């Protein structure tokens, strides 16, 4: 984890070693600042990503079902078979 980044909606700036907790349902705009090291961040996503327009209205989303479709498409393309995803789900 390296670099320097923030959300435009907040006053903090994150650098290596920082821990940030994002409140579910909060909108934010990611910005990466100039820094000698590239921005590398590890995000743990536990809910859907929602895209908002300039009025705060939802215009799109990406959730677990979208991730599963990407995985199925990938496993099918590399010859493992889309059904392999089912073995990963409890």
Mind listing the pLDDT tens digit for each residue in 54-73?
998 999 999 999 999 999 99
pLDDT-derived band at 15 (thresholds 50, 70, 90) equals very high
Nearest CA to 30 among 60, 51, 16? 51
pTM, to two decimals: 0.66
Q: How confident is the model at residue 78 (pLDDT cuts 50, 70, 90)?
A: very high
Q: What is the DSSP letter of 57?
A: -
């Amino acid at each position: 984890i390296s670099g320097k980044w923030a959300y435009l909606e907040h006053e903090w700036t994150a650098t290596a070693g920082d821990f940030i907790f994002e409140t579910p349902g909060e909108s934010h705009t990611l910005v990466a600042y100039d820094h000698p090291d590239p921005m590398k961040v590890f995000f743990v996503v536990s809910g859907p990503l929602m895209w908002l327009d300039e009025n705060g209205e939802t215009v799109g989303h990406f959730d677990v079902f979208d991730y599963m479709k990407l995985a199925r498409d990938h496993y099918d393309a590399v010859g493992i078979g889309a059904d392999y995803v089912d073995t990963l789900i409890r």
